[in-house]
Amino acid sequence: MPVLELNNVSGGYGEVDILHGVSLQIARGELVVVIGPNGAGKSTAMKAVFGLLRLSGGTINLDGEDITGMEPAQVVRKGVCYVPQTNNVFPTLSVEENLEMGAYIREDDFRPRLQEIYQIFPPLREKRKQKVGFLSGGQRQMVAMGKALMLEPRILLLDEPTAGLSPIYRNQIFDIVKEINDSGIPILMVEQNAKQSLAVADRGYVLVDGQNRTDGKGLDLLNDPEIAEMFLGG
Amino acid sequence: MDFINFYFLPGIVLGSIYALGAIGVSLVFGILRFANFSHGELMLIGAYITYSLLHFTGLHPLAVLPIAMIFTGVVALGIDHVFYRPFRTSKATIVIVASFGVALMARSAVQIIWGVDPVSYSPGQIQKPIVLFDSLRIFSKHIWIVSCAIVLMLTIHVILTYTKTGKAMRAMSDSTELARLTGIETEKIVRATWLLGAALAASAGVFLAWDTHLHTMMGFYMLLPMFAAAILGGIGQPYGAMVGGLVIGLAEELSSYPWIGGEPLLPPAYKGGVAFAVMVMMLIWRPSGLFRGRVF
Amino acid sequence: MDSSQAYGYFLYFVSLMTMGGIYAIMSLGLNIQWGFTGLFNVGIAGFFAIGAYVAALLTTAESAYHLGGFGLPVAVGLIAAMAVTGVISWLVGLLCIRLRSDYLAIATIGIGEIFRLILKNEIWATNGARGISKIPLPFETLAEPWNKICFMLLVLGIVTLLYFMIERARLAPWGRLMTAIRENEHSARAAGKNVERFRIEAFIFGSVLMGLAGGLTAHYMKFIGPGATEPLTTTFLVWVMLIAGGSGNNRGAILGAFLMWAIWSFSEVLTGRLPPELAIKAAYFRIFLIGLLLQVVLQRYAGGILPERRLASVIPDHGTSK
Ligand SMILES: Nc1ncnc2c1ncn2[C@@H]1O[C@H](COP(=O)(O)OP(=O)(O)OP(=O)(O)O)[C@@H](O)[C@H]1O
Ligand SMILES: [Mg+2]
């Protein structure tokens, strides 16, 4: 059974639908990448999982449980963690406070987990008393991901974690994503860097105009001439 | 010495009162994202409740203050539930109109219940100041007001810095949407914000009424200095609001000191305009405020 | 009903229409600011008072109690009232218009407050709390009730004229752009429009009407005092009128003004019959009820009696918040 499953999901923000029947599946332990042109509805599909959309059709299942249209606060409590594309940290809070907010719904002691997060993202330990607003883009992205991981999620949704980052940070983030996935957490990731992300992904989906275009194994997509022409610069 | 006794000390007292009110304005603006035009009326309610409590119990204003603070907090929760909650996802401007309406309703309710004549917490009593070093004259109630204000502000500091709810309040002030995605129960945080803001407003109202007297236009007249203080400190920055309140209070009192020659710099009757002038200068010079709050 | 009673009712009706018309002018002004452009003005009373005092000081005969004694014609006074309000609102606009509407609202409160202080304290100019009396009423030479009727017709004429003017402006590119700015400032800006300038224009246009209403009231009442700036009756009533009538709709603004003024005035007549002790309380109770009415309209009938008709060709309709 897939961990997370979108079946034929349609919906949008206002009156008009942006998604016209999107289907995605993420199995246990998988790293799944979604690519597509700007405005294809990739971010919108993620928001659909999180109850931030007006849905007009389709269902969303988490481990077989129907979570269609659930409130964001409840979806988090089900163990789905989401790092939005923009606006994904609290800039006036310190690094440590951001991570603490990530653990907001935990009732147990989160401090051991905090130490684990600092192991994954060593620069954050150094800057833990600093306001996130003053950090570099790459470090902010680390805070955003660290914050989402504070819960030891059942599945992690990442929306363009490397957008706007320098190549060094980009590689670093890709390594960490792989590392997190290897530790057993399934990941659904939207990416602009199609080549690099398909290379590490188990499977990939291509969304165009709010619809599934194709999907397949990461490497198969990478070698597909049509996809190559669309996204990989020929 | 006159400067200290008649301008500086009253400025500090007034400033502490403004600061207490402005913290609430700033918190509500940061977390609920609207300028609450009924904040002055929360002060009014707190001050009048205290008046009734004093009347029935004969206790000291400070003794009944906690009850008034809780009561006002509960009133604010009720107002929020009935009048503001329906607009949570609408444009902020609609809520401002609603808060404007609430201000009038609250004031007229106070006028119906308590009447419009000014009243005093301690009618007929004239307090003698304590004289220190032969010439420094301090009223004991002023010492009480300023110390209580400091204690309350420290409490706010502790809540915002060290408690989970306080941190979540700051987080929500940064981004409501991200707070929701993080699993923070935003409605709970909103309630905490009203409780804190209203309790502080009540204390400000009680202190002002204790220092001077109590009348039903008090809340309205406080609105401008409180907003000026909140803007001066930076919207959504509670610490900025504390500083802003002190600055506005001092500026109002010091504006009538005879700085040049023997005449007051500004006729005392125009004190009320000082807050506005400071605010206008701030909006021109640095709209984000001293503490770099948000500019909308 | 004998004839003198009928005559009394008739005079009451005339005064109802006159004051209703004056409020309709303010309601139209607020509609330009809030209804079309989304500018939040809580200083209506301030602009009203500025207009009233300017008109009063310019048209009264010389007096030992206050500035003025220019004895200028009423028309000149009204034009000056509009001009001065316009300049002051221009200054306020320059200052606050680029900030979010909350700041504008706070600033307008400040203007009202400063103006109240001036009226109260500059006794040499304004006669302080005692106000200015003997302001000339146009058509004064005519006999009762003709002077009153003529003044009513004048006010209603102005309302009609303004209605057609503003309606034209609304349908013209100017008005469409205003609504576009209100709906989506970013895209208006992206389209290369000078959003600030248009907003200031709308703010001035609206405030000028409030000044005009102030001037008309001063002449109609023949007296003006600082009580006129009591923010409550003026500012709040105009807001309720516009919201109840239908914000964004000029006919709604006018209808709301007459309707709410009638309700306000009738209820005053009714509570006036109570014993004095109760009558005072009843006055506050009326305000409470008006406040409640506003909340009900905001929550249940957000569009008002005559909701705004969107010009769909220009602005894509995202569906109003319910
Ligand atoms: N909050 C919103 N309200 C209304 N429309 C929106 C909103 N967010 C996105 N859209 C619209 O939905 C469509 C899909 O946007 P989405 O953000 O899902 O694209 P995307 O595939 O993530 O693109 P990108 O690669 O640029 O991130 C776009 O046309 C966009 O304009
Ligand atoms: Mg996106």
Pick B269's closest partner by Cβ from C121, C239, C243.
C121
Q: Is B266 on the interface with C (CB under 8 A)?
A: no
| Domain identity same for A143 and A99 | yes
Residues A224 and A136 in one domain: no
Q: Are residues A141 and A159 in the same domain?
A: no
Asked if B21 and B204 touch (Cβ cutoff 8 Å), the reply is yes
pLDDT of residue B103: 92
Residue B109 reports pLDDT greater than 50:
yes
| CB B288 within 8 Å of CB B294 | yes
Q: Are residues A104 and A217 in the same domain?
A: no
What pLDDT does residue C71 have? 66
Residue type, A106: R
Residues shown for chain A: 234
* Cβ atoms B65, B206 nearer than 8 A: yes
- CA of A44, closest atom in ligand 1: 18
Q: What is the pLDDT of residues C213-269, one digit of tens each?
A: 999 988 888 778 777 656 667 888 899 999 999 888 899 999 999 999 999 888 888
- Kindly state if the Cβ of A86 falls inside 6 Å of ligand 1: no
Give me the domain span that covers residue A188: 1-79+153-234
Measured between CA atoms, how close is B222 to chain C, in angstroms? 11
What's the whole-number average pLDDT of chain B? 85
Rounded distance, CA C322 to CA C319, Å? 8
Per-residue model confidence (pLDDT) at position B40: 93
B226 alpha carbon – ligand 1 mean position (Å): 40
Give the contacts of B238 (CB within 8 A, at least 6 positions apart).
B23, B26, B27, B156, B160
CB A56 within 8 A of CB A226: no
**Residue B18 near residue B229, CB atoms below 8 Å:** yes
Q: What is the ipTM of this complex?
A: 0.88
The reply to whether C319 touches chain A by the CB within 8 Å rule is yes
Give pLDDT, residue B69: 93
- Same domain, yes or no, for A176 and A233? yes
- What's the token pair of residue A122? 């060593």
* Residue A1 sits in the same domain as residue A72: yes
Query: Cβ of A87 and B180 within 8 Å?
Result: no
Q: How many residues does chain B have?
A: 296
- Does A161 lie at the interface with B, CB-CB under 8 angstroms? no
In a domain, B258, yes or no: yes
Same domain, A111 and A143: yes
* Among B6, B3, B2, B11, CA closest to B246: B11
pLDDT tens per residue across span A44-59: 999 999 888 888 989 9
CATH code at A217? 3.40.50.300
CB C124 within 8 A of CB C67: yes
Q: Which residues of B touch C42 (CB under 8 A)?
A: 37, 100
Q: Which residues 6+ apart lie within 8 Å of C28 measured at CB?
A: C159, C162, C163, C166, C209, C250, C253, C254
CA separation for the pair C150, C130 (Å, rounded)? 29
Chain C neighbours (≥3 Cβ pairs under 8 A) are A, B
Specify the number of domains making up chain B: 1
> In chain A, what residues touch B174 (CB-CB under 8 Å)?
90-93
Residue range B63-68: mean pLDDT, rounded: 90
DSSP letter at B251 equals H
Is B171's CB within 8 Å of A72's CB?
A: no
Nearest to C102 among B96, B220, B280 (CB): B96
Number of domains, chain A: 2
Separation CA C143–CA C125 (nearest Å): 32
What is the rounded average pLDDT of the residues B1-26? 84
Residue C320's pLDDT is what? 37
Residue predicted with more confidence, B15 or C176:
B15
Lowest mean pLDDT among B88-92, B267-271, C106-110, C225-229: C225-229
CATH of residue B45: 1.10.3470
Residue of A nearest to B237 (CA): A92
Summary mean pLDDT of chain A: 88
Domain's final residue, options A152, A176, A203: A152
- Which residues does residue A10 pair with via DSSP β-bridges, in sequence order? A20, A57
If you average pLDDT over residues B110-115, what whole number do you get? Answer: 89
Ligand 1 atom at shortest distance from the alpha carbon of A41: 18
Closest Cα to atom 8, ligand 1: which residue?
A: A44
3-class SS of residue B264: coil
pTM of structure? 0.87
* DSSP-assigned beta bridge partners for residue A94: A131
pLDDT tens profile A142-160: 999 999 999 888 999 999 9
Closest CA–CA distance from residue B144 to any residue of chain C (Å) = 31
- pLDDT over threshold 80, residue A101: yes
Contact yes or no for A210/A41 (Cβ under 8 A): yes
Q: Is B116 a domain residue?
A: no
Residues by chain with Cβ below 5 Å of ion ligand 2: A 43, 85
The token duo for B101 is 């309406």
Residue C77: predicted pLDDT: 85
- The model's confidence at residue B179, banded by pLDDT at 50, 70 and 90, is very high
Mutation pick for ligand 1 pocket among A43, A83, A85, A189 (CB with most ligand atoms within 8 Å)? A43
Mutate to test the interface with C, among B105, B231, B278 (most CBs of C within 10 A): B105
Tell me if A73 and B184 make a contact (CB, 8 A cut-off): yes
Same-domain check for residues A167 and A75 = yes
Give the whole-angstrom CA distance, residue B136 versus residue B55. 33
pLDDT in tens, B121-156: 876 666 777 776 767 777 778 888 888 989 999 999
CA separation for the pair C230, C217 (Å, rounded): 14
Collect all residues with Cβ–Cβ distance below 8 Å to C25 and sequence separation of at least 6.
Answer: C155, C158, C159, C162, C209, C210, C212, C213, C216
| A169 and A73 within one domain | yes
In chain C, what residues touch A16 (CB-CB under 8 Å)? none
Tell me, yes or no, whether A104 and A176 share the same domain: no
Amino acid B220 reads F
B-chain residue closest to C300, CA distance:
B86
Low-confidence residues of chain C: pLDDT under 70: 1, 61-68, 70-71, 99-101, 125, 129, 228-232, 310-322
The span from the CA of C318 to the CA of C74, in Å, is: 47
Last residue of a domain, one of A134, A152, A170: A152
How far apart CA C231 and CA B92 sit, in angstroms, is 22
Q: What is the pLDDT of residues B228-257, one digit of tens each?
A: 898 888 877 788 888 999 999 988 888 777
Residue to mutate (ligand 1; options A13, A44, A188; most atoms within 8 A of CB): A44
Q: Which of C242, C269, C109, C280 is nearest to B108 (CA)?
A: C280
Tokens representing residue B269 in the block: 């009757």
Which of residues A152, A182, A208 is at a domain's end? A152
For residue A84 and ligand 1, the question of a CB distance below 6 A is answered with no
Q: What's the pLDDT score for residue C315?
A: 40
Q: Compute the C-alpha angle B187/B160/B234, nearest 5°.
A: 90
Q: Could you tell me the distance, in angstroms and rounded to a whole number, from the CA of residue A41 to the centre of ligand 2?
A: 7
Pairing of strands A203-208, A211-217: antiparallel
Q: Distance from the CA of A12 to the center of ligand 1, in angstroms? A: 9
Query: Choosing among C184, C318, C320, which should be mutated to test the A contact, i.e. which has the most A CBs within 10 A?
Result: C318
Among the atoms of ligand 1, which is closest to the Cα of residue A14? 4
Task: Report d(CA B227, CA C155) in Å as an integer.
Answer: 38
Q: Which residues of A touch B182 (CB under 8 A)?
A: 76, 101-102, 104, 147
CA atoms within 13 A on the CB side of C151: 30
Q: Mean pLDDT across chain C, nearest whole number? A: 82
CA of A43 to the centre of ligand 1 (A): 7
Widest Cα–Cα separation across chain A: 51
DSSP string, A89-102: S-TTSBHHHHHHHH
Say whether residue C318 is in contact with chain B using an 8 A CB cutoff: no
Length of chain C: 322
CA distance A174 to A218: 15
Q: Residue B129 domain-assigned?
A: no
Domain span holding position B27: 2-110+136-285
Residue A193 beta carbon below 6 angstroms from any ligand 1 atom:
no
Q: In this structure, are residues A59 and A68 in contact, taking their beta carbons and an 8 Å threshold? A: yes
CA dihedral of residues C152, C156, C158, C159 (deg, nearest 10): 140
